[in-house]
Amino acid sequence: MLFAICHPSIAVEAQIGLSLRILCGFGIDEIAGAFLTNKETINKRLFRAKEKLRNEKVLSLTEHLHSQKPEIRSWQLWRQKN
């Protein structure tokens, strides 16, 4: 997930915002405070970044794997390697 949200096709501010939201679990209010902007701006920024990653098919594999149970994920990854 880290590599997907830090993809070079999105702006650095969006990468940081997505990292704080998805990986660290910060709320929109907290991220807006860190960027010294309002909630609407952060919501739009994160939405546009996610859309761009979806359009470029960066998030399709990670979302699919993330939605499955951990034991299924590890089995599928193991099968792909072998």
Q: Where are the domains of the chain?
A: 2-81
Q: Average pLDDT, stretch 48-64?
A: 75
> pLDDT at residue 36 above 90?
yes
Q: Which residue has the higher pLDDT, 61 or 17?
A: 17
From the list 45, 59, 75, 47, the residue with the least C-alpha distance to 1 is 59
For the domain bounded by 2-81, which CATH number is listed?
Answer: 1.10.10
Q: Please give the Cα distance from 56 to 70 (Å, whole number).
A: 25
DSSP 36-77: TS-HHHHHHHHHHHHHHHHHTTSHHHHHHHHTS-HHHHHHHH
- Whether the model clears a pTM of 0.95, i.e. scores above it, the answer is no
Q: Please give the Cα distance from 43 to 60 (Å, whole number).
A: 21
